[in-house]
């Protein structure tokens, strides 16, 4: 029993640091770059994705012996899309400001590779409880990585921290925490001005690059390999890919074509 608890704990912890989906597995890069302009948006996105991840992991794990492996991917997509629709409706009803802030990125959780990737790599093979714990760990890891990026971008780029916190706190009623609505770190009148480019598109790539370099440095000091975009192996569609079936990968094909030229 104690052994089982320990392994569940490890399943949970690995998603947060050792196998952080964003910084170590390089999954879900699109929402990471897009919604990390403010910490409140990042938390909202992270929590929405976590709910979808946990629920879809549980259902997929329950159905893993019923779903035939040939129609596995479409079945997973239907399950994930249903939960995304539910989350979308809940967010629209209870936190409407967040819905308009996240915009099209909220329904796009469907194609977030973290969720399909975990379904394929973990929930389709493991027990219900382990899958739920894995989903929770991965979801928290995703939220933490998003918040790290958003903190840097919001403080340096907009000069605020947790701005528009009421957008999320509205869940607990009007004017929670005395109407707390974020701090102003850099005042507009001061000598230092916020670096606006950091909350625009280029700043997203730049911050992510620097954060990735830090994560790599940290991993190296612990003797772990660097995070790399694995291309085909990390892709959730890998098993449906015509190239993989032939025992090749995109990068191998690239090399072969280069050799031909």
Partner 1 sequence: MTVYLQILMTAILTGNFVLCKFLGICPFLGVSKKLNTAVGMSAAVVFVMALATAVTYPINTMLVKNNLEYLQTIVFILVIAALVQLVEIILKKFMPPLYNALGIYLPLITTNCAVLGVVLLNITENYNFAQSMFNSVGAGLGFMLAMVIFSGVRSRLESCDVPKFLQGLPIVLIAASIVSVSFMGFTGIVEGILGL
Restricting to residues 169-188, which ones interact with partner 1 according to CB under 8 A? none
Q: Which residues pair with 160 in a beta bridge?
A: 184
Going by C-alpha positions, the residue among 225, 231, 257 that lies closest to residue 244 is 231
Min. distance of Cβ 8 from partner 1 in angstroms? 29
CB 230 within 8 A of CB 210: no
Residues in contact with partner 1, shown as a per-residue x/- string from 87 to 116 under the rule CB under 8 A: -xx-------------xx--xx-xxxx--x
| Residue of 84, 136, 149, 152 interacting with partner 1 (CB under 8 A) | 84
Smallest distance from partner 1 to CB 173, Å: 27
Measured distance CA(88)–CA(42) in Å, rounded: 16
Task: Provide the minimum distance between the beta carbon of 249 and partner 1 in the complex, in angstroms, as a whole number.
Answer: 11
Using rule CB under 8 A, residue 204 touches partner 1:
yes
CA distances to 18, 106, 196, 200, 207 from 149, rounded to whole Å, are 18, 18, 15, 13, 7
CB of residue 112 to partner 1, shortest distance in Å: 8
Give residues with Cβ within 8 angstroms of 207, minimum separation 6: 36, 149, 152, 153, 198
Distance (Å, whole) CA 95 – CA 167: 7
Answer yes or no whether residue 157 interacts with partner 1 by CB under 8 A. no
Interacting residues toward partner 1 by CB under 8 A: 26, 29-31, 33-34, 73-74, 77-78, 81-82, 84-85, 88-89, 103-104, 107-108, 110-113, 116, 197, 200-206, 208-210, 212-213, 216-217, 226-229, 231, 235-237, 240-243, 250-251, 253-254, 257-258
């Amino acid at each position: 029993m104690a052994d089982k608890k320990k392994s569940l704990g490890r399943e949970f912890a690995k998603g947060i640091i050792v196998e952080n989906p964003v910084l170590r597995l390089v999954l879900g890069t699109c929402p990471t770059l897009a919604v990390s302009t403010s910490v409140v948006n990042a938390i909202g996105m992270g929590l929405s994705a976590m709910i979808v991840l946990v629920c879809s992991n549980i259902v997929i794990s329950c159905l893993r012996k019923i779903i035939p492996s040939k129609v596995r991917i479409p079945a997973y997509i239907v399950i994930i899309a249903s939960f995304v629709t539910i989350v979308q409706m809940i967010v629209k009803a209870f936190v409407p400001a967040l819905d308009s802030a996240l915009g099209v990125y909220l329904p796009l959780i469907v194609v977030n590779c973290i969720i399909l990737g975990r379904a394929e790599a973990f929930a389709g093979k493991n027990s219900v409880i382990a899958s739920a714990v894995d989903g929770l760990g991965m979801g928290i890891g995703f939220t933490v990585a998003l918040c790290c990026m958003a903190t840097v971008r919001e403080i340096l780029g907009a000069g605020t921290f947790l701005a528009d916190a009421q957008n999320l706190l509205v869940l607990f009623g009007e004017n929670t925490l005395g109407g707390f609505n974020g701090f102003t770190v850099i005042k507009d009148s001061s000598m230092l001005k916020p670096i606006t480019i950091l909350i625009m598109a280029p700043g997203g790539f730049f911050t992510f690059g620097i954060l990735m370099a830090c994560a790599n440095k940290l991993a190296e000091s612990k003797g772990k390999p660097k995070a790399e975009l694995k291309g085909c192996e990390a892709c959730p569609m890998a098993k449906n890919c015509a190239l993989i079936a032939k025992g090749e990968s995109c990068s191998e094909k690239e090399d072969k074509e280069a050799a031909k030229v």
